[in-house]
A and B are shown apart, each in its own frame.
Chain A
Amino acid sequence: QSALTQPASVSGSPGQSITISCTGTSSDVGSYNLVSWYQQHPGKAPKVMIYEVTKRPSGVSNRFSGSKSGNTASLTISGLQAEDEADYYCCSYAGSSTWVFGGGTKLTVL
């Protein structure tokens, strides 16, 4: 059960769009539409931004969207804002009631 692969860092200017990828295998991301994305600010607990690949919880800005193609899921943030600067993690169901997380991506808003 290896961690999902995310870029270590991404950056963008206010107002721009960025995409964070999350690559797994046919045993996790590729087999289930059960990928979630979390935002974590320093010293805070993770907060779900997207679940089940594309669903956005109540209260999460519609600037956040998710997608999946094959073994890779993606999180897109449009209209980048300063408060979006945080660490982002993906997590996939991996069968048999198990989870696997990505290594995390640090988003810097320039």
Chain B
Amino acid sequence: EVQLVQSGAEVKKPGESLKISCKGSGYSFNNYWIGWVRQMPGKGLEWMGIIYLGDSDTRYSPSFQGQVTISADKSINTAYLQWSSLKASDTAMYYCARPARSGSATPPTNWGQGTLVTVSS
């Protein structure tokens, strides 16, 4: 069974750094892209970026380029989303998600459970 398990909820102060994770199991992690999606409170889904675990090829939405860093450690089947300096406006639920087909960055069919990030002074 394909599973994406994300790290737990975080409460941070503005200016702090943060790295959240998404661990895949039940499939060949290296052959898939993993995307990150933001959902601000009461709002819709926004695509942030995506990484291919085979060679770490990474793409970002223009809205998130320079604001976050997507990375991965294929030795432990884990993708990451990180911030160097959080803002209150980063408060949101963050999901990782995986396409149906290996090697293809098509819209996702499998989702993690989400990581709630709260940024407040």
Whether the pair B105, A93 counts as a contact (CB closer than 8 A) is yes
Interface of B is mostly: strand
User: Mask for B64-85, Cβ within 8 A of A = 1, else 0?
Assistant: 0000000000000000000000
Q: Which interface class (under 10, 10 to 19, 20 to 34, 35 or more) fits B?
A: 20 to 34
Give chain A interface residues in 76-110, CB to chain B under 8 Å.
87, 89, 91-93, 96-104
Q: How far is the CA of A101 from the CA of B39 in the complex (A)?
A: 11
Whether the pair A101, B59 counts as a contact (CB closer than 8 A) is no
Q: How far is the CA of A87 from the CA of B39 in the complex (A)?
A: 13
Q: Write the chain A residue with the least CB distance to B48.
A: A99
Q: How far is the CA of A87 from the CA of B68 in the complex (A)?
A: 27
Give chain B interface residues in 88-119, CB to chain A under 8 Å.
95, 97, 100, 105-114
**With A45-B114, A97-B59 given, is the CB distance from A36 to B50 under 8 Å?**
no
Q: Hey, which chain A residues are within 8 Å of B105, CB to CB? A: 93, 97-99
Q: Hey, which chain A residues are within 8 Å of B95, CB to CB? A: 45-46
**With A51-B100, A97-B50, A99-B35 given, is the CB distance from A35 to B107 under 8 Å?**
yes
Whether the pair A98, B59 counts as a contact (CB closer than 8 A) is yes
Nearest 10 CB-CB pairs, A to B?
A: A97-B105, A36-B107, A104-B44, A91-B107, A99-B47, A101-B45, A48-B109, A45-B111, A34-B106, A97-B59
Chain A interfacial positions (CB closer than 8 Å to B)? 1, 3, 34-36, 38, 45-48, 51-52, 57, 87, 89, 91-93, 96-104
Chain B interfacial positions (CB closer than 8 Å to A)? 33, 35, 37, 44-47, 50, 52, 57, 59, 61-62, 95, 97, 100, 105-114
